[in-house]
Chains A and B, each alone.
Chain A
Amino acid sequence: MTTTTAPSRTPSAPPGPRRMHLAAHFPGVNNTTVWTGDRVGSQIDFASFEHLARTAERGRFDFFFLAEGLRLREHKGRIHDLDVMGRPEAVTVLSALAAVTDRLGLAATVSATFNEPYELARRLSTLDHLSGGRAAWNVVTTSDAFTGENFRRGGYLDHADRYVRAAEFVATARELWDSWPAGGTPRPVAHQGPHFSVRGEFTLPRSPQGHPVIIQAGDSAEGRDFAAATADVIFTRHSTLEAGREFYADVKGRLPAHGRDADALKIMPGVTFVLGDTAADAQERAATIRRQQVSPQNALVALEQVWGVDLSAYDPDGPLPDFDPVPDPRLAQGRVRIGDPKAVADRWRALSEAKGLSIRETVIETTGRQSFVGTPAAVAEEMAAFVAARAADGFILVPHLTPGGLDDFVDRVVPLLQERGVLRPEYEGATLRSHLGLPEPVRPAGKG
């Protein structure tokens, strides 16, 4: 594989605390998005995307991030109806956002499994041109047959093959992005590999930041190696200090084998936050939000995902089932899988017994908890400490409200981060690469 982004060492950072990178995850389709109450807006109207993007830009964030799901989730053979659903197509909505933002990076999650390199390379390069060099692609490897039923090629790809396809996909895209020499006429590309055959001329000159930024999200050893070889940013779910440090060391440790240095790949966990005027106030809000996220109905769904059987007759405020799970992978479709169901069930039952928790309370305790809860000052301090401890290079913030979920953070935490010198007071460059401190990709030798 040609690594066209083998970066030179970035200029040494100015003295002072380590700067953090921030991104905003649009809280649309997500089982953490709260959709009841008076501050909730549309997850689909353009005004919501515009509001959140402008807020992120006001906070001098690196980029705005859209996740992807190519089939509506199903539970027990029926469309799951309890969480926010309905999303736009990412590259199109980001192209529109390019018109109402100036500096903010625009990151689209797009599956490498259900797309073709020529078309996607062209759409992403277009986004990079339309935004003056602010495009990013989060390469995901969605491959289940359930999603495949919406596509020409179906769901044939197994886990081992999908990173092989993703790596060849990105390499092919880079060949296309590099195929116009500065000021010259395009050179035809001739790519022939196990997954793709692409021959002909690309229709766009090199984009304003050379290539769109590449993000990776996926946690297996193959996924981490793929990121170490290829990506500029890694989006992870390891959001506690301990897990973050371990993940950070592991991934950064994989870079030298690919001839890359530690700064070439930024590690950004997805995190949530709850702010309050006092620590107690923040804790109370966090508890309220958790109850909104885990409705009684959702608690039973979470339970069924572990137990593998219909539990609709159970009382969410009552005790957990006293029998062992009957694993059924088809029960919940379109979700990232949980671990070993028996182990999860044992853990849940132990917790419930020890603390006297109901089904709903157990689910609230075990399925995700807010990463940063406290006063703006405490949250700013804790985030800076994460970065200083090399548990992260920055964060992808996942607000729980659309579209105003970032307002308080930008108004109250961002100024404190800026005062501490861990967040840029102003954008220094125009492109996403410059925000991330990444050099423009070098053209492969002999091809400029």
Chain B
Amino acid sequence: MSVTPCALRPLHLAFALDGPVRRARRGGEAYDPEHYVRLARLAERGTLDFVTLGDSFARPGPDALAVLARVAPRTGRIGLVPAVTTTHTEPFHVSTAVSTLDWVSRGRAGWAVEVSQSRAEARLFGRRDAAPADAMWREAGEAADVAARLWDSWEDDAEIRDAATGRFVDRAKLHHVDFRGSSFSVRGPSITPRPPQGHPVVVVDASTRPAREVAAAHADVALVRAEDPATAGDARAGLRERARALGRDPDRLRVLASLPVELYCSGDAVGLADLIGDWHADGACDGFHLRPADPERDLARLVDGTVPVLQHRCLLRRFYPGATLREHLGLPRPANRYAAARKVSP
């Protein structure tokens, strides 16, 4: 088997496991864990980087993060990226749940940051009214920020198990985060040690303006919904520029074009390979997030049709080069902000 690294720029592929709501409502597979296990294993056979599962408190279906935690032990390499909303949830709980997904998947977790804008969702909680998108996304950015601080609040080597002094941890390597946002504060540190990837991969659908700002500031992967390569390319350039302006290295932001797909036959699957090749050649994006009409059917066609074509054309890798989602994406493990600060001023 050839192990030549083919494409100059690696192509990243992700797939949404969500079925249309109308099917979920009929019951059946939306509540059957084996349905998700089957799909994730199929995606893994296609060496995709990750699968996403959407969520909202008002859509029929189970909690997305719990579903992907259930999938984790039955898969080995595929990245698992549930949507978790920030509007009616506790940032502290969200950060530990995402961190735990990283622990149970041994470094394959991501978090698709979402907001709950609807009045229907607000009524389910009765704590606060629905708010405009700008305010919700500002809070979502704060939630992503505090989550990252909590993930860093245990340095990697905080657990020392030093029998001589009786100390299980070195408390100099545990940190109160003392975060104050516009609508919440968190003292910290986390109750969960720093997860295997340091930070699970943060994914933001950057299709709207307020979400774009959060993506530029906090995302490892930004999704952009675009109908042509030029639009996607512009969005990518804009996000990279904004990330740079915020002091980030734009090469640590992957921008994936998020496309609806419907693959009825193997011809469609080859057509998708052509489209992916063209967009990629144009430099429109770092890869694709595919949103199927029918996850089961379309994923099978993708894995058995599109993927081999892309591999044959040397656009897609044939195996997972690493074990963690960050490694699939070519993203480094983030340095710990507190450890860095401690080294500067001991």
Contact = CB atoms under 8 A, between A and B. Distances in A.
Interface string A57-90: 0000000000001111000001101111111110
A160 interface: no
Interface in B102-144: 103-106, 120-121, 123-127
B168 interface: yes
Given A198-B125, A297-B166, A50 B92 contact: no
Contacts of B193: 44, 86
A298 interface: yes
A296 B189 CA distance: 26
Nearest to A84: B168
A98 B92 CA distance: 24
B90 A203 contact: no
Q: Is the interface of B mostly helix, strand, loop or mixed?
A: mixed
9 contacts: A46-B106, A85-B169, A88-B96, A96-B69, A116-B88, A118-B124, A122-B62, A126-B66, A203-B62
A427 interface: no
B60 interface: yes
Interface in B64-92: 65-67, 69-74, 88-90, 92
B100 A118 contact: no
B319 interface: no
A366 interface: no
A196 B125 CA distance: 8
Contacts of B8: none
Given A79-B169, A115-B90, A150-B186, A99 B97 contact: no
Most chain A Cβ neighbours within 10 Å, of B90, B104, B159: B104
A436 B201 CA distance: 40
Interface in A267-319: 295-298
Contact of A81 (B27, B60, B103, B171): B171
B187 A149 contact: yes
B334 to A, nearest CB: 19
B123 A200 contact: yes
B90 A114 contact: yes
B309 interface: no
B57 interface: yes
B147 to A, nearest CB: 12
A18 interface: no
A44 B103 contact: yes
Q: Which 5 A-B pairs have the closest CB atoms?
A: A197-B126, A297-B166, A95-B69, A96-B104, A149-B187
Given A116-B125, A130-B33, A203-B60, A92 B166 contact: no
B300 to A, nearest CB: 22
A92 B73 contact: no
Contacts of A89: 93, 96-97, 99-100, 192
B101 to A, nearest CB: 6
Interface in A135-178: 149-152
A72 B191 contact: yes
Given A72-B189, A81-B167, A91-B97, 6 more contacts: A70-B92, A72-B191, A96-B104, A122-B57, A200-B120, A204-B31
A187 interface: no
Interface residues of A, number: 60
A130 B31 CA distance: 7
A95 B70 contact: yes
B70 A46 contact: no
Contacts of B167: 81-82, 297
Contacts of A72: 174, 189, 191
A295 B167 CA distance: 10
A45 interface: yes
Interface string A188-199: 000000001111
Contact of B31 (A83, A205, A295): A205
B12 to A, nearest CB: 25
A263 interface: no
Contact of B97 (A36, A92, A118, A122): A92
Interface in A92-107: 92-93, 95-96, 98-100
Contacts of A295: 166
Interface string A347-389: 0000000000000000000000000000000000000000000
A82 B166 contact: yes
A201 interface: yes
Contacts of A116: 88, 125, 127
A298 B70 contact: no
B58 interface: yes
B103 A200 contact: no
Contacts of A50: 73
B126 A199 contact: yes
Contacts of B154: 86
B183 interface: yes
A390 interface: no
